[in-house]
A and B are shown apart, each in its own frame.
Chain A
Amino acid sequence: DAKTTQPNSMESNEEEPVHLPCNHSTISGTDYIHWYRQLPSQGPEYVIHGLTSNVNNRMASLAIAEDRKSSTLILHRATLRDAAVYYCILSSGGGADGLTFGKGTHLIIQP
């Protein structure tokens, strides 16, 4: 799987939007961009994924650069429950392979 680069940590205030960046300059044409998050002592939780177009769901939005070399996870209105480690992961289509987790971004939400 291609490598991704994320900031080690980010801090935001409650009820404000959060933009979590991810660089993936070596992404291939068949790689999907996935975002998962992990709360302490829990398994990762699926957040969103996309291929080329921007995506929206009830949890977040995913903005994908036109050249696909970067993407941004957007939490529109952060709550204290959004404090977690967020992982940006590339995975080739088909889903036959396990995921390669990097260190992710530790998101801290201030009340």
Chain B
Amino acid sequence: GAVVSQHPSRVICKSGTSVKIECRSLDFQATTMFWYRQFPKQSLMLMATSNEGSKATYEQGVEKDKFLINHASLTLSTLTVTSAHPEDSSFYICSARDAGRGAETQYFGPGTRLLVL
């Protein structure tokens, strides 16, 4: 139980294009999901908190117009990197909070490797 999936697992795109990453909770409902990114040799950094049915909350320094988040259902959140540039190349990871198992635990997806050429 408590499985989170991400799609795609890796994506290569040209500079200036947009890329959408999906995060799904497969066996539980998630009112709250989180998006992180991880640069090589570094730790995960929280980008934003995605709440079902409301606007996402972004961490300081993360551009909301560049990283669009939509949490339209209790099992799906999407992150769209708009007008991607090479510096956006990173490992993007989502997590979901399963309130039914204990609100304090988050379960992570396998991550999406983005390479912008």
Contacts and interface: CB of A to CB of B under 8 A. Distances in A.
Contacts of A96: 32, 49, 103
A41 B46 contact: no
Nearest to A85: B43
A49 interface: yes
B113 interface: yes
Given A96-B32, A98-B34, A44 B104 contact: no
A102 B44 CA distance: 8
Interface string A93-109: 11111111111100000
A3 B70 CA distance: 31
Contacts of B95: 43-44, 98-99
Task: Give the contact-size bracket for chain B.
Answer: 20 to 34
Given A41-B113, A95-B97, A96-B32, A49 B44 contact: no
B45 interface: yes
Given A42-B110, A43-B109, A95 B44 contact: no
A20 to B, nearest CB: 16
Interface residues of A, number: 25
A34 B111 CA distance: 20
B49 A101 contact: no
A11 interface: no
A61 interface: no
Given A91-B104, A98-B59, A99-B46, 4 more contacts: A41-B113, A46-B108, A95-B105, A101-B44
Interface of A: 32, 34, 36, 38, 41-46, 49, 87, 91, 93-104
6 closest Cβ pairs, A-B complex: A43-B108, A95-B103, A98-B46, A95-B104, A101-B43, A98-B34
